[in-house]
A and B are shown apart, each in its own frame.
Chain A
Amino acid sequence: MQADPPPSSSSTAFLAGVRAACQSVMAYVLIGTYIGITALAHDFGFSMWWVMASTMLVWAGPAQVILISSLGVGAAPLEVALAVCLSSARLLPMVMSLLPMLRQPDTPTRKLLLPAHLTAVSMWIECQRLLPAVPRHNRLAFANGLGAAFMAAAHLGTVIGFYLASLLPPLLTAGMLFITPVSFLISTTRNCRLLMDWLALALGLAVGPLLAWQQVGLDILWTGLGAGTAAYAVHRLREALK
């Protein structure tokens, strides 16, 4: 009889990611958020399996809200695709600022496909907080565990939401929809380290509504590029003056 081989470090790291997810407030935020999203989908006549498939394929709460509510009212497919695409532009800078933290010099690109797909606000926020303390060779598996567990939390919320949908009073669904902005704002505040982070947050909060109110097209995208670049420029300037 041979002794069991020691568990590979990547499965241990994956499980550490799952554990970190269970201890993260984001897991509970996701359950609540998806109760709200599913209640919305239920009202428009989507099945529970369809909502779960959309979570696995899209994995971006705001995009799913747009998808469900616009398909639900019978919007033209092209219009829906455009709205989803615009709302998800934030995923680009998130993937760009997450993957370099996960990669080792010899990591093949195909191994980055899964963490790129699992990247969403919840996972990005918690990776910014937790990854610096995780050894580099464990980060990829850790992030996959974290993202997979977050997705499982969203599915749990979907099952609960589907059975509660007809019972939830409108005020409570309003409360569920409010979880997203509140939890995003507070966790982003917690993660601010550099002056650049604070500036990007404050400028984004100020400029975003202004552009949306002026009905500037692509308001979120322009806010991100403008406010983010300005914050980065101030950071560079301060570094140069040191």
Chain B
Amino acid sequence: MSASPELTAYALLLIVGFLPNEVWRVLGLVAVRGLNEESEIFLWARAVATAVLAAVIAKIVLFPPGTLAAVPLAIRLGAIACGLMAFLLVRRSVFAGVLAAEATLLLGASIWQG
């Protein structure tokens, strides 16, 4: 009973990737049937979504994946600070903010590595 490895990879994608992920979207769809934009639950869901997103952001910066972990924490935090500053200084441009943060990170990391 040995399937090809290629087929196994796609089956795994469906079972351990798609299904456990999609269940949240379907639950959300079911939960809001009959609700409108004036519902208090809608406002509460926005607050929870924003807080969850904030937690995800903080977790990636403080406990980073892959090669990002090799960049010291101080450089990661400094890059975030420069990004926010550029965003505020350059007409609240997200593009400017992301660019400044990336430049700080890459510059900082290459100087640190020597």
Q: Compute how far the CA of A209 lies from the CA of B98 in the bound complex, rounded to whole angstroms.
A: 22
Whether A224 contacts B17 in the complex (CB less than 8 A), given A25-B94, A100-B42, comes out as no
Chain A residue at minimal CB-CB distance from B27 = A92
Q: Compute how far the CA of A80 lies from the CA of B15 in the bound complex, rounded to whole angstroms.
A: 10
Chain B residue at minimal CB-CB distance from A236 = B40
Cβ B56 vs Cβ A91 within 8 A: no
* Residues from chain A with Cβ under 8 Å of B63 in the complex: 212
Chain B residue at minimal CB-CB distance from A199 = B47
Cβ B22 vs Cβ A117 within 8 A: yes
Q: Compute how far the CA of A204 lies from the CA of B51 in the bound complex, rounded to whole angstroms.
A: 4
User: Binary interface profile of B, 1-32, with partner A (CB < 8 Å = 1, else 0)?
Assistant: 00000100110111111111111111111011
A237 at the interface (CB under 8 A from B): no
The majority secondary structure among interface residues of chain B is helix
Whether A231 contacts B51 in the complex (CB less than 8 A), given A174-B67, A190-B92, comes out as yes
Max chain A C-beta neighbours (<10 A), residue from B6, B87, B98, B105: B98
Chain B residue at minimal CB-CB distance from A96 = B45
Q: Compute how far the CA of A92 lies from the CA of B29 in the bound complex, rounded to whole angstroms.
A: 8
Q: Compute how far the CA of A201 lies from the CA of B47 in the bound complex, rounded to whole angstroms.
A: 8
B49's partner among A29, A94, A212 (CB-CB below 8 A) is A94
Instruction: Point out residues on A near B: beta carbons under 8 Å.
Output: 25, 28-29, 40, 46-47, 50, 53-54, 57-58, 60, 62-65, 67, 69, 71, 77-78, 80-82, 84-85, 88-97, 99-101, 103, 109, 112-113, 116-117, 119, 121, 124, 128, 170-175, 177-190, 192, 196-197, 199-205, 207-209, 211-213, 219-221, 223-229, 231-232, 235-236
What are 20 A-B contacts with C-beta separation under 8 Å?
A25-B95, A29-B98, A47-B6, A53-B13, A71-B12, A84-B16, A88-B20, A91-B24, A91-B28, A95-B27, A97-B46, A116-B25, A174-B66, A177-B64, A178-B79, A185-B54, A208-B59, A211-B55, A224-B48, A232-B43
With A67-B13, A186-B87, A204-B53 already in contact, 20 other A-B pairs whose C-beta atoms are closer than 8 Å: A25-B98, A28-B95, A71-B12, A77-B16, A90-B53, A95-B25, A96-B45, A97-B46, A100-B32, A100-B42, A109-B29, A178-B105, A182-B98, A186-B98, A188-B50, A197-B47, A199-B47, A220-B56, A227-B51, A228-B48
